[in-house]
Structure 1
Amino acid sequence: MTNWSLTTLFQSIHDAVVKDLEIARGALKHPGDKGDASEQVWIDLLNAYLPRRYQTAKAHVVDSGGEVSDQIDVVVFDRHYSPFLFTFKEALFVPAESVYAVFEAKQTINATHLGYAVEKVASVRRLQRTSIPVPTVDGTKPAKGLHRIIGGFLCLGSDYSPALGDTLRDTLTAHPEGGCLDLGCVAAAGTFTRASLPTHDAFVLEHSPAAVPKFLLTLASQLQDLATVPMLDITAYAQHLPVRVHETPGATTP
């Protein structure tokens, strides 16, 4: 019998991601290159291990009113029910209704980077989302309620000491609901998750030698809870199609 274990497999996933993030941080000198490579490590991880119904990419999120989010480092979105709105080379725009989760990716976690992440998440959550009744073979089902878009933070290391301690928890709980983060992975240290209590939000910070697969499984579980995205109203987006104005022959412009 082959000698193997899930523990070994999970550890190998973690070690590979940490190694790639360390290479991005150490070998690349230009900040833009360093950031792009680190983001791609997380994108590749999620595309490799999440079910095919999900796709992950760097993208802008747009709503049917024409509003656009900040550029988001890591967007997990639906590719089964939702169309792309625009893609050209590396520029990608996805409809707000298709979004399951958004993450900011940095080299390290600190108060400044978390504040930036909160703004990014809020720029997505404030977008308008449509939801229309769903036709099925058994008849039309009611429109799905809008889920909370998961917001999170991904990085290699921590500028806090200890890496996952009360100072980090205080920073996480200080942010308003609109941008409050739900989930994060500090690959070299551990993970954090938001637990909503009756009177306030609390964060569970866990040190782990296999933080990456722990984050991956936690995210997968949260995605299961969200089920499917709402059926977007395509006609709401179609109203922004360009319209050609035809002039009447012989008419004069006032």
Structure 2
Amino acid sequence: MTNWSLSQLLAGLHDDIQQRLETCRKSFAHPGTKGDASEKVWLQLLETYLPQRYQVATAHVVDSQGIFSEQIDVVIFDRQYSPFIFNYQGQIIVPAESVYAVFETKQTINANYVEYAQNKVASVRRLHRTSLPIPHAGGYYPPKPLIHILGGILTFDSDWNPHGGFPLESSLNKSEAIGQLDMGCIAACGHFHLNSSSGMYDITLEGKPATAFLFKLISELQFSGTVPMIDVQAYEHWLTR
């Protein structure tokens, strides 16, 4: 009888992701094709392993004032409580209220790409979000406070040598709060996350980064709770414009 090994299963998950990202990097010459293929690897990982209350897609985010974010490589959003999703010819647009997390994907991490990801994250966080009172049998609960939208970057490799340490931490700390990255994964060498207690980044350059990142992301999403109750009528007035 074959003996199961949880450590081997989890290690295999990381090895599969790293190998697929490496194959994308080596097999495709065109930068756009290479980027699209890598993006799909991350999307498939999250689609497969996140709880089904979350949906994952490349998308734009819009608010009730008609402002759009930049296109975001990986948007994790709610489908259980958010009825307003627009999908036309493969272009997905989700309301700002439904977003849990956004990530930029790149082949490698460096100071320019960290700044690029910070700007993408900021383009989502600055959007207006509504929150309605929640009805119950005895009346209404107050509107739920808006959740913090997680932001990060996902790559295969790093341009820095050594891969982490001061260059990475320095780049991460350059952003204002609206664009600050909460977490990220460098599949070939490590992962990082912002420690809410210390306000400092914990950078880990060992283990199985893709698996460790996935577990950390799921944990952060659990603490995020549920998105606020969207005011659909706030979007309705655009029908008459």
**TM-score higher than 0.5:** yes
Over 3 Å counting, the alpha-carbon distance change for 1:93 and 1:2 in structure 2 is same
SS of 1:105's equivalent in the other structure is: strand
Distance across 1 between alignment mates of 2:64 and 2:2? 54
Distance across 1 between alignment mates of 2:85 and 2:216? 29
Partner residue of 2:130?
130
Alignment gaps of 5+ in structure 1: 244-254
Q: Is residue 234 of structure 2 the alignment partner of residue 236 of structure 1?
A: yes
Counterpart residue type for residue 234 of structure 2: A
Q: Is residue 87 of structure 2 the alignment partner of residue 94 of structure 1?
A: no
Counterpart residue type for residue 94 of structure 2: V
Partner residue of 2:221?
223
Partner residue of 1:248?
none
Retained in 1: the 8 A contact 2:132–2:229? yes
Partner residue of 2:58?
58
Per mean C-alpha deviation after superposition, the further-off stretch among 4-13 and 221-230 is 4-13
Distance across 2 between alignment mates of 1:151 and 1:162? 24
Q: Residue by residue, what CA displacement relative to the aligned partner does 1:194-213 show, whole Å, maximum 9, x if unpaired?
A: 01357xx3100001231011
Deviation for aligned residue 1:192: 0.4
Distance across 2 between alignment mates of 1:36 and 1:138? 50
Counterpart residue type for residue 213 of structure 1: T
Partner residue of 1:249?
none
Aligned CA RMSD, in angstroms, stands at 1.3
Q: Residue by residue, what CA displacement relative to the aligned partner does 1:62-85 show, whole Å, maximum 9, x if unpaired?
A: 000000000000000001011244
Retained in 1: the 8 A contact 2:164–2:203? yes
Matches within 5 A, 1:138-149: 139-149=139-149
Counterpart residue type for residue 221 of structure 1: S
Partner residue of 2:36?
36
Retained in 1: the 8 A contact 2:84–2:232? no
Retained in 1: the 8 A contact 2:55–2:78? yes
Deviation for aligned residue 1:41: 0.5
Partner residue of 1:108?
108
Partner residue of 1:251?
none
Partner residue of 1:246?
none
Partner residue of 2:194?
194
Partner residue of 2:177?
177
Distance across 1 between alignment mates of 2:136 and 2:41? 38
- TM-score if structure 2 supplies the norm length? 0.96
Q: Following TM superposition, where does structure 1 have runs of at least 4 consecutive aligned residues deviating by more than 6 angstroms?
A: none
Counterpart residue type for residue 163 of structure 2: A
Percent identity over the alignment is 51
Counterpart residue type for residue 218 of structure 2: A
SS of 1:132's equivalent in the other structure is: coil
Q: Is residue 17 of structure 2 the alignment partner of residue 17 of structure 1?
A: yes
- TM-score if structure 1 supplies the norm length? 0.91
SS of 2:238's equivalent in the other structure is: coil
Deviation for aligned residue 1:139: 4.4
Deviation for aligned residue 1:138: 5.8
Q: Is residue 48 of structure 2 the alignment partner of residue 48 of structure 1?
A: yes
Over 3 Å counting, the alpha-carbon distance change for 1:35 and 1:138 in structure 2 is farther
Per mean C-alpha deviation after superposition, the further-off stretch among 104-113 and 17-26 is 17-26
Counterpart residue type for residue 170 of structure 1: S
SS of 1:123's equivalent in the other structure is: helix
Partner residue of 1:203?
201
| Higher-Rg member (1/2) | 1
Over 3 Å counting, the alpha-carbon distance change for 1:139 and 1:208 in structure 2 is farther
Q: How many residue pairs align between the two structures?
A: 241
Distance across 2 between alignment mates of 1:76 and 1:138? 33
Distance across 1 between alignment mates of 2:84 and 2:29? 34
